[in-house]
Structure 1
Amino acid sequence: MSTQPHPAWTGRNDGEGPEHRRWHQAVIAAEDPAAGEAGLAIVGFACDAGVARNAGRTGASAAPPALRRALAPLAWRGQPGAIVDAGDVSVEGDALEDGQARLGTAVARQLGAGRFVAVLGGGHETAWGSYLGLREALLDGAAGSGAGQAAAGGPGSQPSPGTVPASQPPAAAERRAAPERATSGTHAPRLGILNLDAHFDLREAPRPSSGTPFLQIARDAQERGEGFSYAVVGISEPNNTRVLFETADALCVRYLLDEDCQEDRIEEVRAFVREFAAGVDALYLTIDLDLMPAAVAPGVSAPAGFGVPFPVVRAAAIEAALSGKLALVDVVELNPLYDVDSRTAKAAARLLHDVVTRRVALA
C-alpha cells in the first residue's frame, strides 16, 4: 500500500519554509504514519453512471484528478501533513449503487477519524454516497442503530410504509418546514443539506441517477423517523419542471431562484444560508458547478444559460463554512472533457480552498 499521495499533487516549489507552502506540499496519503494529525480528508468519486442514467453528457469520472491539479498550486497557510488524500472510489460501468455504498464507507471512515471531509465528484449522484457516510458517522452512531442499512434505496423502488410520495406532503411536513424544530425521537443530530445548484435533483425515476439524490435522502429520512431539512440556492425556474417545484413544496424545501441570487442581493443570500444553518446541528454543503454561468463553468454536464455569479456562490459557501456546523462539502458535476482553460476546475478549486481554510484550523 503506497504512502505517496495521488500523482496529481505536484507543482512548483519556491522553498521549504511555511511561507512558500502550497496545497501539494501539505497533502499526505491516508496510509502515511503522520496521517493521524490531519484535519482535512480528500475523497474522490470517479463516476459517470449517474449522469449517464440522467441522460447527461458524461465525463465527470475524470473530475477528481482535475480538481486535485487545480488545488495543487494554491497557497496553503497551514501545516504540512494537514491534508489526507484517501484516494478515489471508482465506479466501473453502471455499478452506481455499489460505488455509492463504497463512497459512504470511505466518508464515514474519515469523519470517524475526526476530520472535515471534502468529496470530489462525480455527478450529483455523489450526494447519496456523501449522505450515506454522514448517516453512518453522525446519525446512526447517535441513534445507536446499525450502520449497515441498505445503501441503494432507489427512488424508483416500490413505496413502502413511510415512503415520501413525490406528489404529496410528508406526514411530518410541519416540522420539516422549520429545520430548527426538525428533531427525531432518538436525539440524533439534526442534519441540514445546503445545495448550491440550478436544479432540485428531486427527480422521480426508475433508478437512482444524478437527478434523484435528494428525493432518495428525503425518503430515507422519513423511513428513519427523522426530519428532512433541505435548502437550495440558485434554482433555475426554466430548468425545473412544475412537478419538481411541487415535490419541493411537498417536502418543504427552502430555495432561492437564480434571479434572486445576483450580486445586488448577495446579503440576502448570506442571510438565507445563516438562517438555514442556525436551525440544524450538522451541515452538509454540496456545490453543483452548473449553478454558475457557462462562461465561468463551461465544463459541466448542463451549462447554465443564466446562472449565479461566482462571488455570490463563494459568499454562500463561505457563510456555510463559518457556521461552525459544516461536517462535509462535496463539489460535483465537473466535466473536464468540456472545460475551457480549466476554468471550471479553477473556480471549483477556489471554492474548496475558501471553504476549507475557514473550516479547518490552520495553526
Structure 2
Amino acid sequence: MSDKEISMASWQGRVDPEPDSARWHQRILPWRAGSVPGVVLVGFACDEGVLRNKGRVGAAAGPLAIRKALASLAWHQQRPVYDAGDITCPDGDLESAQARLAVRVSEVLAEGHQPIVLGGGHEVAYGSWTGLATYMGSGGVVPRIGIVNFDAHFDLRDPANGPSSGTPFAQIAAQCTMRGWPFHYACLGISRASNTQALFARAAALGVWVREDHEIRESTLPQIATELDAFVAECDVLYLTLDIDVLPAAEAPGVSAPAAHGVSLPLLEPLLARLCKSGKLRVIDLAELNPSHDIDGRTARTAARLIHRLSLMS
C-alpha cells in the first residue's frame, strides 16, 4: 500500500502581526528532491510493532500530534525545514514499512539533509538505522555507526518470532554481524524494573554501554558526559533515537509504556546538546508518543520542544 502524499494541512497556528514573529507553520515547506539542504521531518505513522509487542497501540497517530504541537512554536531556524510526509503501515506489513522508511532516510541523507523521523512505535529504529547504514555503506568503507538510545527499555528482545517494537536493536546487532560491522550501542535511562535479567545479559554480551534511570542525576552528569564523549570518539557517525517513555510519566503520560521513574528533560537536554556538538549526528528519531493516552497534549508538546531544540543544535 502506498504512503500518504505530503500534506501541509496540519501546519496551522497563530500569526503575529509584529516583524520577525514567524512560527513553524509559516516557514516549513514540503520536501522535494533537490531542495536546498536543511532539516527534513519524516513521519513513521506505524505502531504495528507495538501491537506485536503487546503494548498500548496509538503511536501511529504520533507524527500528526507532533506536527500540530510544532506548528505554533516560534521560528529560530537558520536553515530550511521540510516535511516529507508519512510512511504508513495500514496493512500490518511492518517489514515493508521499515524498508520504505529506510529508503526515504537514505534519500534525504544523500541530498545533504538532516533527517528527523517522527514515530510511531520504536520499531521505527530499525528503519532509521537501515537508512543510515545504506547511505554509509555505499562508500565501500566499513562505517562505525554509534547508536545512542535514550530509553527505559533495551529493545533487545529476540526477533525470532518476528520484529516488533521490542526487537530493533537486536535486529541491528544481527545486521552488523552479517555485514562485518562493529555494533556500538549506548542505552541511557534503562529501568531495571522493566527489563529482565535475560535482557541485561544480552546487553552485556553485546557490549552495550548502559546507564540506568536512577544513575542519571545532576551530580552525575559531568561523569556521564565524559563517558558519552568516549563513546562518540569511537564512532564515525551517530544515530540518536529518543523513546519518549524515558521521561517520567508526569512529564510524558502519553506513551505506550509510561515510566514510574524516568529521566527528566533538564537532565536529558545537556546530553543531547553534547551529541549535537560532536558534529557526527546524522539521523534522529523520536518514538512511542501515543496521543490517545496524552493529557492536554503534554507529551506532544515535550516531543515538539525536543525537535525544536535538536533541529537548532544538530
Q: TM-score range by the shorter chain?
A: over 0.9
Range moving further from structure 2, 129-138 or 5-14: 5-14
* Counterpart mapping for 1:54-73 below 5 A: 54-73=53-72
| Aligned-residue offset at 1:77 | 1.8
Where do 1:38-187 residues align within 5 Å?
38-78=37-77, 82-139=80-137, 141-143=138-140, 187=141
AA partner of residue 96 (structure 1): L
* Cα distance in 2 for residues equivalent to 1:256 and 1:3: 40
Relative contact order: is structure 1 or structure 2 higher (C-alpha 8 Å, sep ≥ 6)?
2
Give 3-state SS (helix, strand or coil) of 1:36's partner.
coil
1:14 is matched with which residue?
A: 16
Aligned equivalents of 1:5, 1:210: Cα separation in 2: 27
Structure 1 vs Structure 2 CA RMSD = 1.7
How many angstroms does 1:14 deviate by?
Answer: 1.3
SS of the residue corresponding to residue 128 of structure 1 reads helix
TM-score by length of 2: 0.94
Identity across aligned pairs (percent)? 46
Moved more, 348-357 or 49-58: 348-357
Distance 2:309 2:220 in 1: 21
The residue identity in structure 2 corresponding to 1:195 is N
One-letter identity of the residue aligned with 2:81: I
For residue 308 of structure 2, what is the aligned residue in structure 1?
Answer: 353
Q: Distance in 1 between matches of 2:248 and 2:77?
A: 32
Q: Are 1:263 and 1:309, in contact at CA under 8 Å, matched by a contact in 2?
A: no
Tell me the secondary structure at the aligned position of residue 264 of structure 1: coil
Q: Secondary structure at the match of 1:107?
A: helix
2:165 partner SS: coil
The unaligned stretches of length 5 or more in structure 1 are 144-186
2:244 matched to 1:289? yes
Asked if 1:299 corresponds to 2:254, the answer is: yes
User: How far does residue 276 in structure 1 lie from its aligned partner after superposition?
Assistant: 1.5
Count of aligned pairs between the two proteins: 310
The residue number in structure 2 matching 1:26 is 27
The TM-score with structure 1 as length reference comes to 0.82
The one-letter amino acid of 2:253's match is: P
1:223 paired with 2:178, answer yes
Tell me how far apart the structure 1 counterparts of residues 183 and 265 of structure 2 sit (CA, whole Å).
28
The code of the aligned residue for 1:275 comes to A
Q: Which runs of 5+ in 2 are unaligned?
A: none
What is the rounded CA distance, in whole Å, between the counterparts of 1:83 and 1:3 in structure 2? 17
| 1:197 aligns with one of 151, 159, 167 | 151
Corresponding residue to 2:233 among 278, 284, 294:
278
8 A Cα contact 1:5 1:28, kept in partner? no
- 1:328 paired with 2:283, answer yes
